């Protein structure tokens, strides 16, 4: 995949209708109020550039998983309101994304004005990348800009299909993602990666790819239990993927043979139940009680991983170190956020839960790059083709 792509800077948009695929898949409360506008804020530089250039800005996005049906709780109308507040300007909204009503709203759009279309996933054709649906979306505009990195690994009508009908370029958010994640493909050394999350199966390919590039690979979260079992430790009632133990053994062997440091927990926080208010103990990994569950990495492990981060010139972090949504089992994840924030390295954070952790601690601004795409950032690092990027014009 050629990563050198044309951006919105490289095309003349003055007075033109510009269809922008954004990622406005944001959480809403029961009153329909946006509770976290991080993704909306991420799209502002591209939208403001287009407004300044006097383009007619048509935004499209998905929200939630309505499965091809019109569901009011997944309407983007509240997002239009929040975007308007952030821009300090009125954002028009239309209750569909194709058809006569939309065509009329686009026709009435003035230079420098913004229109948000209704959820593209109200149509099953969106996720099927239906050519006719993509053509109808594309017919609304003269230029297409993709700025939704979080869905760039999906070949949907609004992320890939429309690019067959219009000049297609990257927005500033996708440009930043390509630049920062691209740097990890040819890293400065020492390069450390900290990988967490529940399942080895979800991260196996990226672990294998990273092992070729890193000097240190530190593992936490539920998936660390499978590695501990591969080393012969008992893990009580913890989540373990039995079928992945051979793969974990193989990674441990490969790391040893390649002279790479594979760091696994030295101590863990265990709970007597899988509950936020479970009794908690810190134990060494060789003393996990048989009726307890590993729910976080322990303080000795946090210290060891933080030392590895301190020595690195580049760090990539993806996935929580424990059940980070429960305060008493979030200390490992928060420890990683603090270690990265204090590091002099080029730091990249990717993946929903680790991103949420750095946002929650207020440390996101101290990272060099916080990726907006969980699955997309992992597939990028696995070296996979991302349809939403490969369809854009090469620079």
Catalytic residue numbers, as ranges: 39, 199, 352, 375
58 C-beta neighbours (distance < 10 Å), count: 27
Q: Is 193 exposed, middle or buried (0-12, 13-18, 19+ CB in 10 A)?
A: buried
Other CB atoms within 10 A of residue 246 CB: 10
Helix (H) or strand (E) holding 78: helix 77-87
- End-to-end CA, the chain: 13
Read off the tokens for 310: 């301190």
Contact between residue 257 and residue 214 where contact means Cβ atoms under 8 Å apart: no
The whole-angstrom separation of Cα 107 and Cα 174 is 28
Say if CB 189 and CB 315 are below 8 A apart.
no
Dihedral pair phi/psi, residue 385, rounded to 5° = -75, 130
Q: Are strands 314-318 and 191-195 parallel, antiparallel or unpaired?
A: parallel
The closest of 377, 393, 384, 376 to 170, measured between CA atoms, is 393
Cβ-based burial of 8 (10 A; exposed 0-12, middle 13-18, buried ≥19)? buried
Helix (H, G, I), strand (E, B) or coil at 254: helix
Counting every residue written for the chain, the total comes to: 395
- In whole angstroms, give the CA distance from residue 353 to residue 196: 10
Q: Residue 204: which region, alpha, beta or left (left: phi > 0; alpha: psi -120 to 50)? A: alpha
């Amino acid at each position: 995949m050629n990563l050198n792509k044309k951006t919105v800077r490289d095309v003349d948009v003055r007075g033109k209708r510009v269809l922008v695929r954004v990622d406005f898949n944001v959480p809403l409360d029961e009153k329909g109020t946006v509770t976290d506008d991080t993704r909306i804020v991420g799209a502002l530089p591209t939208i403001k550039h287009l407004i300044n250039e006097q383009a007619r800005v048509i935004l499209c996005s998905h929200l939630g998983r309505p499965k091809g049906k019109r569901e009011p709780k997944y309407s983007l109308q509240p997002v239009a309101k929040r975007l308007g507040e952030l821009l300090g300007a009125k954002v028009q909204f239309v209750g569909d994304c194709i058809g006569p009503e939309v065509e009329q709203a686009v026709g009435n759009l003035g230079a420098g004005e913004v229109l948000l279309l209704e959820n593209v996933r109200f149509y099953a054709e969106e996720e099927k990348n239906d050519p006719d649906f993509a053509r109808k979306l594309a017919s609304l505009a003269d230029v297409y800009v993709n700025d939704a990195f979080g869905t760039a690994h999906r070949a949907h009508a609004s992320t890939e299909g429309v690019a067959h009908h219009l000049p297609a370029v990257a927005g500033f958010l996708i440009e930043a993602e390509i630049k920062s994640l691209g740097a990890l493909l040819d890293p400065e050394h020492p390069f450390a990666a900290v990988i967490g999350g529940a399942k080895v199966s979800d991260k196996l390919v990226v672990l294998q790819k990273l092992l070729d590039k890193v000097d240190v690979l530190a593992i936490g979260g539920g998936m660390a239990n499978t590695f501990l079992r591969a080393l012969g430790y008992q893990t009580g009632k913890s989540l373990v993927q039995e079928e992945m133990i051979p793969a974990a053994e193989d990674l441990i062997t490969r790391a040893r043979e390649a002279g790479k440091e594979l760091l696994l927990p030295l101590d863990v926080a265990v709970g007597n139940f899988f509950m936020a208010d479970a009794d908690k103990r810190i134990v060494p990994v060789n003393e996990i009680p048989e009726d307890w569950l590993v729910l976080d990495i322990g303080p000795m492990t946090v210290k060891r991983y933080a030392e590895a981060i301190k020595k690195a010139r580049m760090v990539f972090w993806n996935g929580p170190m424990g059940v980070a949504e429960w305060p008493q089992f979030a200390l490992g994840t928060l420890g990683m956020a603090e270690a990265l924030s204090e590091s002099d390295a080029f730091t990249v954070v990717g993946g929903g839960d680790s991103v949420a952790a750095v946002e929650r601690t207020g440390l996101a601004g101290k990272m060099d790059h916080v990726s907006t795409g969980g699955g997309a950032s992992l597939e990028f690092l696995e070296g996979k083709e991302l349809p939403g990027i490969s369809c854009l014009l090469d620079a």
